[in-house]
Structure 1
């Protein structure tokens, strides 16, 4: 059973998947920073300074007036954090768009490599048909 496990781990697909997961985790941090540090301020600017992350409704309990979502949760209030949900949707759309662009780029690169491999080899130019017939004629005369 241990040998079977070693064979499973040694397969290329498992290693490729592990590398993909590690890169995906690092990519998540980049996208999170992109959304939090660059896109949210721009969206907030166009929405009149609204910060989606702190949009919530108190369902039960009490939260300090105008408190951040974190402060409301820390006070023990049950909150309906619809702003966090909006941000999750924005994050998803950005990640989906970036992944789409990456897949599109990789597919185009694969297509260009495939076209280069499928390109017919150009045969070296040789004598024309008339020249060959003339050579045969001259050879027969000798």
Structure 2
């Protein structure tokens, strides 16, 4: 098992995977900021000033003006506004990754189209038969 792990770690895929995770974490921070700071305020404004971060249901039956106030009071809450923000963040992230993968596939296809394909090699029997034919013609 140790030797398998060494082989796996030595391939270089681990480094690629680590870079992917780090970039993914940074990208998710950007997406979260985009959703919370750019997209949700106009949507809230269009919906009569609704602040999605303060959409919650207190499970203790109390009345709290904000989620912070409910949390400070120690009330258990069902935070569906934060869930909506998370769903929107996920959709934006998925869309961005879709476009990234689509662009990478287009570049990959373009590279494949640029390289001429070599015709497949003839089977050995066919090559030998052609040599025999050519030798017989030469006689």
Q: TM-score, normalised by structure 2?
A: 0.75
SS at match of 1:22: helix
The 2-side partners of 1:118 and 1:73 are apart by: 65
SS at match of 2:77: strand
* Distance 1:89-1:52 versus aligned 2 partners, 3 A rule: same
Kindly report which structure 2 residues correspond to 1:56-71, keeping only aligned pairs within 5 A, or say none. 56-60=56-60, 62-64=62-64, 66=65, 68-71=66-69
Q: State the Cα deviation string for residues 39-87 of structure 1 (Å, max 9, x = none).
A: 11121122121111110111116353x1x21221221111111111111
Q: Which runs of 5+ in 1 are unaligned?
A: 121-142
Kindly report which structure 2 residues correspond to 1:14-25, keeping only aligned pairs within 5 A, or say none. 14-25=14-25
Residue of structure 1 in register with 2:52 after alignment:
52
Contact kept, 8 Å, 2:57 with 2:79, in 1: the verdict is yes
With CA pairs under 8 Å and 6+ residues apart, which has the higher RCO, 1 or 2? 2
Residue of structure 2 in register with 1:35 after alignment:
35
The 2-side partners of 1:49 and 1:19 are apart by: 40
Runs of 4+ in 1 over 4 A off after TM superposition: 1-4
Q: TM-score, normalised by structure 1?
A: 0.74
Residue of structure 1 in register with 2:128 after alignment:
none
TM-fit CA distance, 1:7: 2.8
Contact kept, 8 Å, 1:55 with 1:83, in 2: the verdict is yes
Q: Which runs of 5+ in 2 are unaligned?
A: 119-139
CA-based RMSD: 2.0
The 2-side partners of 1:50 and 1:77 are apart by: 22
